[in-house]
A and B are shown apart, each in its own frame.
Chain A
Amino acid sequence: MLYREAGQFKTSYAKDWAIFPIAQDRIVVLGFLAIAFIAIPVLSSEYFLATILMPFLVMSMAAIGLNLLTGYAGQLSLGTGGFMATGAFAAYKLSTMFPGMPIEAVFLLSGVVAAFVGILFGIPSLRIKGFYLAVATLAAQFFLLWLFNKVGWFTNYSTSGVISAPPRTILFTDIYVTGPEASVTAKYLFALTLVAILALAAKNLVRSSIGRRWMAIRDMDIAAEIIGIKPLQTKLSAFAISSFYCGVAGAMWAFLYTGSVEPLAFDINRSFQVLFMIIIGGLGSILGSFLGAGFIIALPILLTNAPHLLGLNIPVDVISHVEYMIFGALIIFFLIVEPHGLARLWQILKEKLRLWPFPH
């Protein structure tokens, strides 16, 4: 239903530039959506939904956000955790200050708040690049978390510092998606809808003029400026839209996944985790954001369970060391050998299949 552009228009360029120009791709995507929206809620256990698929959806959203900024616009950021925290606290403040506000609006506005914060911390990007920009965004990360920890207003002066998401229903229904009464399935479907819509929007953005401007700045900023692209405006738009996604991801984390708003969830490790996701999944790929998030969430689970299944008895601390080693090796591998990550490997496989059985 979302992908019907192709075939609706008569000109060939419209078909050529449809979001998924190849029929098989459309079928695969629709198949995945059908599985995600119908089969999984019916078949999956609540435990699997709550502990694996929810963080996967939330982190996919954050990875898309960072990928827009780093993978497409070429601006390295270590502030992802800070922008996610901004979204989470914005959602909390908005829903407690305005109890009547629909939860959909809360999520959207949390993203908008994060977008403005992103613009603010994106301003140095006009002058500094690469490593130095990463350090500047690191400052954003630490400053934002410090702010949310120190200023009581953000937590409504709660003494414990841990605050719960208030219960809210979907607009025009009485189905709870946040709070203790919300079922895991409802939360999952709500999160899935958000991710599906915003991933589609991201895909549209990167194939439109704004996406081309980002990539032009990434590939050669001087040439970009000489053909008329305004560097500051373009970089700030990347910071804004990227932070919007991270902000929504943060709100999802707090309201849909854990049910509580705590700064600790968005510390510097979170920023690195999202960065590793897009490196492994593929810089400059929306699909890669999902693959990277899936991979990084699934790997520790596989590593913890595989030895049991094989009848081996490996101590937990050894497993966590192995995990770090595998991540490290993979990140180095992808950075050096295949910066386009798992998404590129998938594409190579597809090209092989497309030509099969008559490769040239």
Chain B
Amino acid sequence: MSATDQDTGRRIGDTVLKVDNISLSFGGVRALTDISFTVREHEILSIIGPNGAGKSSMLNVINGFYHPQEGTITYKGQARSRMKPHAAARQGIARTFQNIALFKGMSALDNIMTGRNTLMKSNFISQALYWGLGQKEELDHRAFVERIVDFLEIESIRKTPVGRLPYGLQKRVELGRALAAQPELLLLDEPMAGMNVEEKEDMCRFILDVNDEFGTTIVLIEHDMGVVMDISDRVVVLDYGRKLAEDTPDAVRANQEVIDAYLGVSHDDAA
């Protein structure tokens, strides 16, 4: 993961995640129909599409939260069709949610510390005694988490229960919790939704920095086309659970089918 080249676009590696013919339905509702695309190492891939297109469902399939009726996910060369979310986390997949899913009763710091749970191995006795590995782990991981806190510029709120934080900061803490796991693949579901311009700029900067400094592969859902065109290496377009396009931002912008979907030609859900 040592990327010396500053240009994100040029250090993109091999396929790390392959989505093959995924179909997912809930009762009668077809959320995803025969979706295939690839995610390459170190890239930022955006998934766009009108409301209800199946974007969040796609992320849920990737991290094992939804089990598709058909198709396979191949992650780092391992094919699977069903897996538990905690197993995906252990393989290096982390994510944030469209509707913030923080642990409301815990401080920002504890939330981010919890993101490191898969890396903490001490047994409960050494934790109860706060002795040996139990203590060492707490302090080592705390030091790592403090680096995330600095990076995300949330020093002043680290002890605040997250339920009391404003929306934008909660989104930031949630990103911090995902980063704490040092993921190889980071899934971000609308990380900038509901933010003002300034907050969006900050969030873009964080995403680009994460991608650049740690080489983290990022799959991003975002409605703001300006942002998507700016930061993505490639874009996948979904509409009504089908894939309309998978291409570079410029090519996607010029694609007639995509334009139609967004102008509400196929349905009235203009984004």
Contacts and interface: CB of A to CB of B under 8 A. Distances in A.
Contacts of B103: 215-216, 218-220, 223-224
B117 A13 contact: no
A210 interface: yes
Interface in B113-166: 113-118, 120, 122, 124, 127-130, 134, 137-139, 142-143, 146
B73 interface: no
Interface string A177-220: 00000000000000000000000011011011111110110111
Given A204-B129, A219-B106, A227-B177, A212 B146 contact: no
A275 to B, nearest CB: 19
B122 to A, nearest CB: 7
B206 interface: no
Interface in B79-137: 84-86, 88-90, 94-95, 97, 101-106, 110, 113-118, 120, 122, 124, 127-130, 134, 137
B219 interface: no
A283 to B, nearest CB: 9
Contacts of A204: 127-130, 134
A29 B200 CA distance: 46
Nearest to B110: A212
A26 to B, nearest CB: 15
Contacts of A9: 139
Interface string B37-58: 0000000000000000000000
Given A226-B89, A228-B118, A14 B113 contact: no
Nearest to A284: B105
Given A19-B130, A209-B120, A210-B127, A216 B114 contact: yes
Contacts of A228: 86, 89-90, 117-118, 181
B72 interface: no
A215 to B, nearest CB: 5
A209 B117 CA distance: 7
B102 A220 contact: yes
Most buried by A among B86, B90, B116, B139: B86
A219 B139 contact: no
The listed residue with most B CB atoms (<10 A of its CB), out of A205, A213, A219, is A219
Nearest to A228: B89
B187 to A, nearest CB: 10
The SS class assigned to the A binding surface is helix
Contacts of A212: 106, 110, 113-114, 117
Nearest to B146: A13
Contacts of A226: 63, 65, 85-86, 88-89, 95, 101
Interface string B163-185: 00000000000000110010000
A212 B113 CA distance: 8
Interface residues of B, number: 41
Contacts of B137: 209
A289 interface: no
A271 B143 CA distance: 41
Interface centre among A209, A218, A222, A227, by most B CB within 10 Å? Answer: A227
Contacts of A223: 97, 101-103
A17 interface: yes
Contacts of B101: 220, 222-223, 226
A230 interface: yes
A296 interface: no
B139 A11 contact: yes
Contacts of A11: 139, 143
Contacts of B113: 209, 212
B230 to A, nearest CB: 28
A50 interface: no
B127 A205 contact: yes
Contacts of B90: 228
Nearest to B89: A228
Contact of B127 (A208, A220, A227): A208
A60 interface: no
Contacts of B181: 227-228
A74 to B, nearest CB: 9
B89 A219 contact: no
A351 interface: no
Given A209-B127, A210-B124, A228-B117, A218 B139 contact: no
A207 to B, nearest CB: 8
A241 B177 contact: no
B103 to A, nearest CB: 4
A237 B117 CA distance: 15
A46 interface: no
A204 B137 CA distance: 13
Contact of A227 (B117, B120, B122, B139): B117
A209 B97 contact: no
Contacts of A218: 103, 105
A25 interface: no
5 contacts: A208-B138, A215-B110, A227-B86, A229-B114, A241-B124
Given A215-B106, A226-B65, 13 more contacts: A204-B130, A209-B137, A209-B138, A216-B114, A219-B102, A219-B105, A222-B65, A223-B102, A225-B86, A226-B63, A228-B90, A228-B117, A229-B86
For the complex of A and B, 6 pairs with smallest distance between CB atoms = A228-B89, A223-B101, A219-B103, A208-B127, A228-B118, A201-B128
Interface of B: 63, 65, 84-86, 88-90, 94-95, 97, 101-106, 110, 113-118, 120, 122, 124, 127-130, 134, 137-139, 142-143, 146, 177-178, 181
